[in-house]
Amino acid sequence: MPVRTETRTMLASDEATAAAVRRLADGGLVAFPTETVYGLGADATNAEAIARLYLAKGRPSFNPLIAHVGDRIAAQRIARFDANAEKLANAFWPGPLTLVLPRAADCPVAELATAGLETIAMRVPAHPIARDILSTFGKPVVAPSANVSGHVSPTTAQHVEADLKGKIDLIVDGGPTQVGLESTIVGCFETPLLLRPGGLARGEIESVLRMRLADLPQFETTAQPLAPGMLASHYAPRSPVRLNATTLEPGEALLAFGTPAVAGVDKAAAILNLSTRGDLVEAAANLFRHLRELDAKDAIQIAVMPIPNEGLGEAINDRLRRAAV
Ligand code: TXA
Ligand code: MG
């Protein structure tokens, strides 16, 4: 199978959706916007397409994928929902929440996509272009973030091009994504578990479940990790990243939040602000784009101001910690 392919970018339109669906049906790889980040889609029932997807991303194949579907009914053919899963799907789908559930007995998703696990991660995205593609295609689509494995997730079609041009078939350009962070992942086990903080804040989920979400042990030691994708170093820009910066060293670039009350800003190699008004939703939407832009400045290091750990701040800090490893 050729590794180099001609990558076409099309602005979102009915024609682009039709082209995306054709490519998926042929076993092709199609990047498309979701409300969180751009995904790289492949037919979830086609093991060969999934193998190509792992190859294009350079992703370790023990890292399982999220199956995306157009609605709840489609999801119920693939996975089993317990009472908590029902509540969460009712409250938050379509939206930035992924549920890890037991695979249904006749689950059509290729084993390769779930890396041999008995569970499957499922999501119904809210973005109109994603929904259009999924409902027209009519089959589940596996879609990891459309970046080279280990890089910062893409929030624009141009980010996807920068990482994957020549390796995938089609990019549907729907402009910048709204949320800017990947979906929150909840494992619907006996005790629901927060597997990955993300675009839906923990507090919203807990208030629907009327219970606290358990946390993932910080260092998993089991042979089959619960959250195989949570490698410590991930989402990494090329420049080193320094967290909780209150002073700036010469040659560093600054990723600010709120009022940049940091000594030495006048000598910054570059400054970008996640949200001058200190709004965590705005900061989440800007995070990956700003990291990419500061990374391109060739500063000796990216210094990041402290971000409060509430609401979406939990997911922002999680991504920043991984970028800093
Ligand atoms: O917002 C998102 O979730 C984006 C968009 C494109 O939908 N997708 C995304 O996919 O972030 P990806 O592949 O980059 O991250 C999926 C995460 C990985 O950390 C993977 O290990 C975890 O989901 N995962 C998938 N299946 C799992 C399972 N059965 N049990 C536990 N974790 C699972
Ligand atoms: Mg990813």
Predicted local confidence at residue 238, as pLDDT:
83
- Ligand 1 pocket test, candidate residues 36, 62, 63, 66, most atoms within 8 A of CB: 66
Predicted local confidence at residue 229, as pLDDT:
60
CB 260 within 8 A of CB 273: yes
CB 252 within 8 A of CB 301: yes
CB 120 within 8 A of CB 98: no
Element (H, E) at 321: helix 313-323
Domain 241-324: what homologous superfamily? Threonylcarbamoyl-AMP synthase, C-terminal domain (3.40.50.11030)
Angle, in degrees to the nearest 10, between helices 128-137 and 14-25? 50
Contacts of 69 (CB under 8 A, 6+ apart): 75, 78, 122, 123, 124, 134, 140, 141
Q: Domain spans of the chain?
A: 8-215, 241-324
Q: How many A from CA of 144 to the centre of ligand 2?
A: 6
CB 232 within 8 A of CB 216: no
Report the alpha-carbon distance of residue 270 to residue 282 in Å, rounded.
20
CA 190 to chain centre: 25
Q: How does pLDDT run along the chain (325 residues), one tens digit per residue? A: 445 789 999 999 999 999 999 999 999 999 999 999 999 999 999 999 998 999 899 877 668 999 999 999 999 999 999 999 999 999 999 999 999 999 999 999 999 898 878 999 999 999 999 999 999 999 999 999 999 988 899 999 999 999 999 999 999 999 999 999 999 999 999 999 999 999 999 999 999 999 999 988 765 545 455 666 655 556 678 889 999 999 999 999 999 999 988 888 888 999 999 999 999 999 999 999 999 999 999 899 999 999 999 999 999 999 999 888 8
Angle, in degrees to the nearest 10, between helices 157-164 and 280-295? 40
Report the alpha-carbon distance of residue 250 to residue 32 in Å, rounded.
39
CA 63 to ligand 1: nearest atom: 21
Coil/strand/helix, residue 316? helix
Predicted local confidence at residue 1, as pLDDT:
47
Report the alpha-carbon distance of residue 301 to residue 314 in Å, rounded.
23
- For ligand 1, atom 20: residue with the closest CA: 229
- Ligand 1 pocket test, candidate residues 34, 114, 185, most atoms within 8 A of CB: 185
Predicted local confidence at residue 325, as pLDDT:
82
Whole-structure pTM value: 0.90
Architecture of domain 8-215: Alpha-Beta Complex (3.90)
- For residue 264, the 8-state DSSP code is T
Predicted local confidence at residue 245, as pLDDT:
95
Coil/strand/helix, residue 273? strand
Coil/strand/helix, residue 303? strand
- Ligand 1 pocket test, candidate residues 35, 59, 145, most atoms within 8 A of CB: 145
Residue 199 to residues 69, 145, 187, 284: CA-CA distances in angstroms?
Answer: 18, 14, 16, 8
Structure token pair of residue 169: 């078939």
Structure token pair of residue 106: 């006749």
Cis status of the peptide bond prior to 94, with omega within 30 of 0: yes
Report the alpha-carbon distance of residue 302 to residue 55 in Å, rounded.
30
- For ligand 1, atom 15: residue with the closest CA: 144
- Ligand that lies nearest to the alpha carbon of residue 39, given by its number in the listed order: 1
CA 125 to ligand 1: nearest atom: 7
Please list, residue by residue across 251-271, b when 16 or more beta carbons sit within 10 angstroms of its beta carbon and e when fewer do.
ebbbbbbbeeebeeeeebbbb
Q: How many A from CA of 138 to the centre of ligand 1?
A: 21
Coil/strand/helix, residue 6? coil
Ligand 1 interacting residues, C-beta cut-off 6 A: 34, 36-37, 39, 63-66, 98, 100, 114, 117, 119-121, 123, 125, 143-145, 182-183, 185, 195-196, 226-230
Report the alpha-carbon distance of residue 187 to residue 64 in Å, rounded.
14
Report the alpha-carbon distance of residue 1 to residue 7 in Å, rounded.
16
Q: How many A from CA of 14 to the centre of ligand 2?
A: 27
Please list, residue by residue across 103-124, b when 16 or more beta carbons sit within 10 angstroms of its beta carbon and e when fewer do.
bbeebebbebbbbebebbbbbb
